[in-house]
Amino acid sequence: MDTKNITLISTGGTIASRWQGTGYAADAGGDTVLASAAVPDGVEVRVLDLFNVNSSRMTTERQLTLLRTVREVLADPSVDGIVVTHGTDTLEESAFLLDLHHDDPRPVVFTGAQKPLGATDGDGPGNMYDALQVAASVRDLGVLVVFDGKVHAARGTVKTQTLAADAFSDPSADVPVGRLGFGRVDIRRTPQRPAPLAVPPVDTAIPRVDIVMHHSDADPALFEAAIAAGARGIVLVATGAGNATPEFVEAVGSAVRAGVLVAVSTRVPAGPLAEIYTGGGAVDLVAAGAVLSGVLRAGQTRVAVLSALLSEGAADVRGKLVRELLGVSEGAVAQAA
């Protein structure tokens, strides 16, 4: 059996968390986290400690540092794959950001835990073992999320359980990418991915991208406050298949005319957005210049908007690009209605 060389990039999260007297926080290094788990036969692991934070403290700057670190690691042809340990709260955003830029056949596999390091019934060791096994055995699947015996595509996968071990799923997909069990990795489908983006230069300014939610009695005050705060992109989390009010439509139109990139997601857990309703609905929001997010939810929609803004190009080019990153095309969502 050929030895597979896997690099473990440790970023913190619950899998690296220990009791701090009042609560848990990430403080264990990657070597300690790795030592808690069995390593699959034929796998050798090199540990790289990148940072050690609770994932609620994740930032775009840290995510871009992770992206560039992955590129640096994969510059070594002897590396067969990468595992990233990450907190679960923002894992879906980091994984999707890396997937949008990943242009290598070798896998990048995210995993983590719902229970802290050293818990007698902890899920971290099993997730680590599975992630190493996947990283050593698959290719051409992009960035993956391995959790609780399942293999998920980065795109569309979100945290769906606050505490349960089966923390991640793609609510709009029929089946995960694969499953693990009995010492094998069973891949069932290949994720659909857009053409990979170039990695932003180190000195690239990070644009502000905010998320604003619509609800009963909502008005555009927070939407307009985000623009006043300097947002260059906004994700409106609408109701239903992408619906808000005429007041939001007016605010969206003003923002788009000012060069702000606006995307519309939904607070509903599963299903696509669609141009069905007027009177402030998706029909009017799209006419005002917003882009519907397809089946992606708010966090990953924000990442798509952010990535489009980080790319080079004029406003109309970025509008086209964000549609590609979201996996929707002109008129495609309307036809799905």
- Which CATH number covers residue 244? 3.40.50.40
pLDDT of residue 329: 65
Which residues are annotated as part of the binding site for substrate? 55, 88-89
136 and 233 together in one domain: no
Question: Could you tell me if residue 264 is inside a domain?
Answer: yes
- Which structural domain, as residue segments, surrounds residue 246? 209-336
Question: Could you tell me if residue 197 is inside a domain?
Answer: no
3-state secondary structure at position 25: strand
Q: Tokens at residue 12, please?
A: 């913190």
Backbone angle region of 253, left / alpha / beta, with phi > 0 → left and psi within -120 to 50 → alpha: alpha
Residues 6+ apart with CB under 8 A from 103: 196
151 and 225 together in one domain: no
3-state secondary structure at position 73: helix
140 and 270 together in one domain: no
pLDDT of residue 335: 38
119 and 254 together in one domain: no
First to last CA, the chain: 51
171 and 306 together in one domain: no
Q: Tokens at residue 219, please?
A: 């008005």
* Residue 204: active-site member: no
Q: Tokens at residue 2, please?
A: 């050929």
Q: Among 7, 11, 14, 60, which one carries the catalytic annotation?
A: 14
Mean pLDDT over residues 168-191, rounded?
94
pLDDT of residue 333: 41
Q: Is the pLDDT of residue 314 over 90?
A: no
What pLDDT band is residue 66 in, cutting at 50, 70 and 90? very high
Cα 147 to its chain centre, rounded Å, is 14
Which residues are annotated as part of the binding site? 55, 88-89
Residues 185/151, Cβ–Cβ less than 8 Å: yes
Instruction: Enter the pTM of the model.
Output: 0.95
Distance CA 318, CA 312 (A): 8
pLDDT of residue 1: 64
Task: Give 5's strand partners.
Answer: 44
Mean pLDDT over residues 217-238, rounded?
98
Question: Could you tell me if residue 193 is inside a domain?
Answer: no
Distances (CA, A) of 70 to 57, 89, 125: 20, 21, 23
Q: Among 7, 11, 60, 88, which one carries the catalytic annotation?
A: 88
> Whole-number mean pLDDT of the chain?
95
231 and 293 together in one domain: yes
Q: Tokens at residue 185, please?
A: 């990795």
Mean pLDDT over residues 308-316, rounded?
83
Distance CA 300, CA 230 (A): 21
- From 152, 187, 222, the end of a domain falls on 187
**DSSP β-ladder status, 168-169 and 158-159:** antiparallel
Q: What angle do CA 210, 10, 207 make, to 5 degrees?
A: 20
Q: What is the DSSP letter of 96?
A: H
Distances (CA, A) of 235 to 214, 245, 327, 331: 11, 15, 16, 20
Mean pLDDT over residues 255-280, rounded?
97
What is the number of domains present in the chain? 2
193-225 pLDDT, tens digit each = 999 999 999 999 999 999 999 999 999 999 999
* Residue 88: active-site member: yes
State the DSSP string of 233-297.
Answer: EEEEEEBTTTB--HHHHHHHHHHHHTT-EEEEEESSSSS-------SSSHHHHHHTT-EE-TT--
280-304 pLDDT, tens digit each = 999 999 999 999 999 999 999 999 9
Distance CA 221, CA 184 (A): 52
